[in-house]
């Protein structure tokens, strides 16, 4: 796997966001493992990946626009991927332990009541989600806010015309944008051009906007509350 750091400062070690790619497809040499994290999200940009999670039933395939919340210490395994797979992974804290669990065999039976570190496993399937009007554009709302108890929130955003997409100030810790496809202009204090696979972090308390978005523009928009 190839990693590209999307937040070079890592916000003082608080968050890490990575653009991860697997140039060659096929079987992934992974084992059952888990992470000691407060928050961890994975979104697919291109290609597909087959994964399996503790107490979530049979393995499933994630495709572009799909997203999962990996709650703290949930056991999981990556089984295979397409050539050219690209995902975005966001974790808090930046440095966290990854541990193997050689005693657990996956898959396991579904338990919809199971919580991990106070959070529930959540999966967003792009093909099944509706686009609804939002802030001058459209958005797919994901189940992440409810699954984390308000700790994190994730939307997929797109433009619907020439009108800017405006974002209200957020008083939490993280406001992260990652351009999945297309181009736009980020307007905050001054203007910045955005293209495919570009990312940015907005300081808490600042309003911002996206203008001049191309018809194929898609944005992964992640925010988090202030964490203990």
pTM of the full predicted structure? 0.95
Q: What is the mean pLDDT of residues 217-228?
A: 94
Q: Give the pLDDT confidence score for residue 153 in this predicted structure.
A: 98
- pLDDT(228) > 90: no
Look over the chain and give the mean of its residue pLDDT values, rounded to a whole number. Answer: 96
- pLDDT(173) > 80: yes
Q: Decide: helix, strand or coil at residue 145.
A: helix
Q: What is the mean pLDDT of residues 219-223?
A: 98
Q: Give the pLDDT confidence score for residue 161 in this predicted structure.
A: 85
**Percent of the chain clearing pLDDT 70 (strictly above):** 100
Q: What is the mean pLDDT of residues 188-195?
A: 93
Cα angle 206-208-209, degrees, rounded to a multiple of 5: 170
Cα dist from 195 to 75, 153, 177, 209, whole Å = 35, 23, 12, 15
Q: Give the pLDDT confidence score for residue 59 in this predicted structure.
A: 98
Q: Give the pLDDT confidence score for residue 205 in this predicted structure.
A: 92
User: Which residues are within 8 A (CB) of 50 and not within 5 positions of it... i.e. 6 or more apart?
Assistant: 59, 60, 61, 62, 78, 79, 80, 81
Cα angle 190-138-67, degrees, rounded to a multiple of 5: 95
pLDDT in tens, 122-157: 999 999 999 999 999 999 999 999 999 999 999 999
pLDDT band with cut points at 50, 70 and 90 for residue 218: very high
Q: Decide: helix, strand or coil at residue 74.
A: coil
pLDDT band with cut points at 50, 70 and 90 for residue 40: very high
Using the 8-state DSSP alphabet, how is residue 13 labeled?
G
Q: Give the pLDDT confidence score for residue 39 in this predicted structure.
A: 97
Q: Give the pLDDT confidence score for residue 1 in this predicted structure.
A: 86
Q: Give the pLDDT confidence score for residue 162 in this predicted structure.
A: 83
Q: Cα-flanking dihedrals φ and ψ of residue 25, to 5°? A: -95, 180
pLDDT in tens, 26-36: 998 899 999 99
Q: Give the pLDDT confidence score for residue 84 in this predicted structure.
A: 95
pLDDT in tens, 85-125: 999 999 999 999 999 999 999 999 999 999 999 999 999 99
Domains of the chain: 2-124 (2.60.120.10), 127-224 (2.60.120.10)
């Amino acid at each position: 796997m190839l990693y590209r750091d999307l937040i070079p400062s890592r916000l003082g070690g608080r968050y890490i966001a990575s653009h991860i790619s697997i140039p060659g497809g096929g079987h992934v040499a992974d084992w059952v493992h888990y992470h000691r994290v407060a928050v961890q999200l994975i979104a697919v940009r291109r290609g597909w990946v087959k994964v399996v999670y503790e107490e979530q039933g049979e393995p499933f395939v994630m495709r572009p626009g799909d997203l999962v919340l990996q709650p703290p210490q949930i056991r999981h395994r990556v089984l295979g991927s397409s050539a050219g797979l690209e995902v975005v992974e966001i974790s808090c804290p930046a440095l966290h332990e990854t541990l193997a669990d050689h005693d657990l065999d996956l898959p396991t039976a579904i338990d919809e009541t199971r919580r991990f570190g106070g959070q529930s496993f959540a999966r967003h399937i792009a093909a099944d989600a509706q686009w609804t009007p939002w802030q001058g554009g459209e958005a797919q709302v994901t189940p992440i806010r409810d699954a984390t108890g308000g700790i994190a929130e994730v939307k997929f955003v797109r433009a619907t015309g020439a009108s800017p997409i405006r974002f209200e100030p957020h008083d939490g810790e993280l406001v992260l944008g990652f351009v999945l496809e297309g181009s736009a202009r980020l307007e905050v204090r001054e203007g910045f051009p955005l293209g495919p696979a570009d990312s940015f972090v907005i300081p808490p308390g600042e309003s911002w906007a996206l203008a001049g978005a191309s018809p194929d523009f898609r944005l992964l928009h992640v925010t988090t509350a202030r964490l203990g």
